[in-house]
Amino acid sequence: MNQAVLNWIDEMAKMTKPDRIVWIDGSEEERQRLTAEAISTGELLELNQEKLPGCVYHRTAENDVARVEHLTFICTKKKEDAGPTNNWMDPEEAYKKLAGLFDGAMKGRTMYVIPYIMGVPGSPFSKVGIELTDSIYVVLNMRIMTRMGKVALDQLGESAEFVKGLHSKADLNPERRFICHFPQDNTIWSVGSGYGGNVLLGKKCFALRIASYMGQKEGWMAEHMLILGIQDPQGNVSYVAAAFPSACGKTNLAMMIPPETFKGYKVWTVGDDIAWMRVGPDGRLWAINPEAGFFGVAPGTSAKSNPNALATVQKDTIFTNVVLTPEGTVWWEGMGVEPPAEALDWKGNPWTPDSGRVGAHPNSRFTAPARNCPSISPEWENPQGVPISAIIFGGRRAKVAPLVYQSFNWQHGVYVGAAMASETTSAATGAVGVIRRDPMAMLPFCGYNMGDYFAHWLEMGQKIPNPPQIFHVNWFRTNEAGKFIWPGFGENFRAIKWILERCAGQGKAETTAIGYVPTEDAIDLTGLDITKETMHSLLEVDPEAWQNDIANQKEFFTKFDRLPQAIEDELVSLEKRLQG
């Protein structure tokens, strides 16, 4: 056995003091045994195996239902290396503080040792991690989300290069809950939570926060991006990667079905959340999805918004904090089917549609194997990844950003990503709420100083001989009544088709102050009932609205102590272009 692994486990076990240690091998027998054990203790509930074969149900503690950004820390020796957008803690202080919380935290419990791979076994992209946890729920989720067990130990061999993850539910007290990342030590410690985003340490913790730091050091990119392929009627497939803040339809786009009018086209899902990207031998940027499953938000997932996701969760899925029906099936708001007359809500309390409260928690989840997805790409487990033609940034903007536009070049595209934002709106008053800037959708997930992260993007542009084109999309423009004027969902394919036409040196566009915007006849509207006036509104670039937005951008960028000069230059250039 690997001595570095054994020494580390021994050290962690002395601190946490579990009653026993179980090594996870990834076998089917093991899955059945652990599932049966979790059902016997009530940690999991078995669902109707005729209607949802292989599916189980879990409730988290009521105080433990989402990622806790305010309790998530980047622990670097110098505070400035964590940067102004991360919570920082000195590594020595963090280790000492959390060691006190971990001390004896696994007494009376089992420590599970989960070796896992982010990426495909044997891929030049892939990395090994080991998570120690006292939660069967974590083990079973990590089984879906990663390639785990013996395959990971085989890949690790005698190497000491692995990400060390320690997790304990402890007492689930939010006052003693911390998720700490030590990028300079390849280490993650998470204590006091049982919720997926805080405890599935291969996901945001490793695949983004630790991996983004690795990528900066090693010359690659770990990004909060979906990856999808578009196959044309001749069988050619082009791939795009896209970053969206939350509530902007990322998973829906990843699993999109083209409108019926586009005969012969098909969309392939490579990944819905994370992309690891490297420069390939052909000078293009190649990407893999390092995950093996989907950890998706349930509410709003329906046959209309995402039929492929709904099909994916029909078997071998873990549902968390949704409604449990008397038949042993599940339901959530926005599912597009009639709610049960009576059921148990996410807290386990009796619930009816007239209860006056939601049945499923707004952040309730499904964990499902990617292989279940009807649109899963034949290339999703290609160890070399797929070549990326376009990078797409997106946000939720009522007025400012047009439906789609293209950056002038890589540097301008990095600026577009750095400035991306979403708005919240108040349904009660119709007033526009806050603009939340979320650069590259990485604000909560960048494992180091975000100014350095922008610089890394700019440097990557110099290293990629044939870089992807960079675009921005916005499905959320509204009219004066506050209603969306673009139909969205599968119709978003039309904008992606224009993007790929532009990548091929085609696709009509006009040069504007913000970039290349489609002409009003450039987007294929076949079979879509949409007026010329609406298209004009969707593609309009209003200089006044953009100048107001620049003021907000300037304020946002002042917080970065290491903002690259190129970002400032692009901001100044945009301002000049808008002034004509």
Cα–Cα distance measured from residue 539 to residue 526, given in angstroms and rounded to the nearest whole number: 18
Cα–Cα distance measured from residue 59 to residue 319, given in angstroms and rounded to the nearest whole number: 9
* Residue 489 known to bind ligand: yes
* Residue 490 known to bind ligand: yes
The tokens of 146 are what?
């990663």
Centroid of chain to Cα 139: 20
Residue pointed to by tokens 């279940």: 372
The tokens of 1 are what?
């056995």
* Residue 317 known to bind ligand: no
492-501 exposure pattern, b = at least 16 Cβ within 10 A, e = fewer: bbbbbbbbbb
Cα–Cα distance measured from residue 345 to residue 322, given in angstroms and rounded to the nearest whole number: 7
* Residue 396 known to bind ligand: yes
- Residue 438's pLDDT is 96
* Residue 252 known to bind ligand: yes
- Read off the pTM: 0.97
- Residue 433's pLDDT is 64
- What separation in angstroms does the CA of 471 have from each of 291, 408, 502, 517? 25, 9, 10, 10
- What is the number of H-type helices and E-type strands within the chain? 16, 31
Range list of β-strands (E), 119-213 = 127-133, 147-148, 163-168, 178-182, 187-191
Reply yes or no on whether 205 is catalytic: no
The residue annotated as part of the active site, out of 55, 75, 180, 248, is: 248
* Residue 67 known to bind ligand: yes
- Residue 246's pLDDT is 78
Per run of 10 residues, the mean pLDDT along the chain (length 580 residues) is 96 98 98 98 98 98 93 98 98 98 98 98 97 98 98 98 98 97 98 96 98 98 98 98 89 96 97 98 98 96 95 98 98 97 98 97 96 98 98 95 98 98 58 81 97 98 98 95 94 98 98 98 96 96 96 96 97 95
Residue-range domains of the chain with CATH: 3-43+70-218 (3.40.449.10), 223-289+380-578 (3.90.228.20), 294-372 (2.170.8.10)
Cα–Cα distance measured from residue 451 to residue 135, given in angstroms and rounded to the nearest whole number: 37
* Residue 10 known to bind ligand: no
* Residue 437 known to bind ligand: no
- Residue 430's pLDDT is 44
* Residue 246 known to bind ligand: yes
The tokens of 226 are what?
């979906």
- Residue 434's pLDDT is 82
- Residue 539's pLDDT is 98
- Residue 138's pLDDT is 98
* Residue 334 known to bind ligand: no
- Residue 452 gets the label, from left (phi > 0), alpha (psi -120 to 50) or beta, of alpha
* Residue 90 known to bind ligand: no
- Residue 477's pLDDT is 95
Q: What's the first-to-final CA gap in the chain, in angstroms?
A: 67
- Percentage helix, strand, coil for the chain under 3-state DSSP, each rounded to 5: 30, 25, 45
Range list of β-strands (E), 2-140 = 20-23, 45-46, 56-58, 72-74, 87-88, 110-118, 127-133
